[in-house]
Amino acid sequence: MISSHVRVTGLIFVILAFSLAGSSAQKQANTTEADSSAVKQVVAGYDDAFNQHDAHAIGALFAEEGDFTNMRGASRHGRKDIEQNYGNLFAGVLKSSHRTDTVKSVRFLTPEIAQMDADWEMTGTKAADGSDNPPRKGLLDWVVAKVNGQWLIVVFHESEFPK
């Protein structure tokens, strides 16, 4: 009788453990889908801010200690420096620019850190002499982190495809 009771209790424990594990796995999958969508929204927010030439809105998408490296290798560190850099660009060579980023992948390194790849295309940029540049295309590679419930850009690398 005790043996039978132990088996039934053990069986109930195993069933409960598997059902909780399944529930946890489902919750993790849902969280990843929600977070993946949230990361894609950061990209969409970046495009919106860029196309409105809003340096402050772009700066707000970066972590306080974020890093930015553009296609020419110019780097900036920190939200304020990144915002100031975009302000200068929007007053100059990017004054009439428009960009579109198309997310290719979002990969979670941890539940709070993800890596994102996107193809980008930019039009309306000016050369140093003021002439129009042809449309440009390249790859965008970000590391984003969930900070206080908000996804922010920690590392921003942009490269241009060879012509």
Q: What is the pLDDT of residues 77-86, one digit of tens each?
A: 999 999 999 9
Among 69, 90, 56, residue whose Cα is nearest residue 142: 69
Determine which of 14-18, 34-38, 86-90 has the lowest per-residue pLDDT on average: 14-18
Top CATH class of 28-160 equals: alpha beta
User: What's the pLDDT at 19?
Assistant: 45
Q: What gap in Å lies between CA 23 and CA 133, rounded to an integer?
A: 53
Cα angle for residues 63, 48, 154 (degrees, 5° grid): 15
Question: Tokens 């965008």 label which residue?
Answer: 140
Q: What is the pLDDT of residue 2?
A: 52
Whether residue 44 has pLDDT greater than 70: yes
In 54-135, DSSP assigns E strands to 62-69, 75-77, 98-110, 113-123
- Read off the pLDDT of residues 90-109 as tens digits, 9 standing for 90 and up: 999 999 999 999 999 999 99
Q: Where are the domains of the chain?
A: 28-160
Q: Is the pLDDT of residue 139 over 90?
A: yes
Tell me the pLDDT band of 16, cut-offs 50, 70 and 90: very low
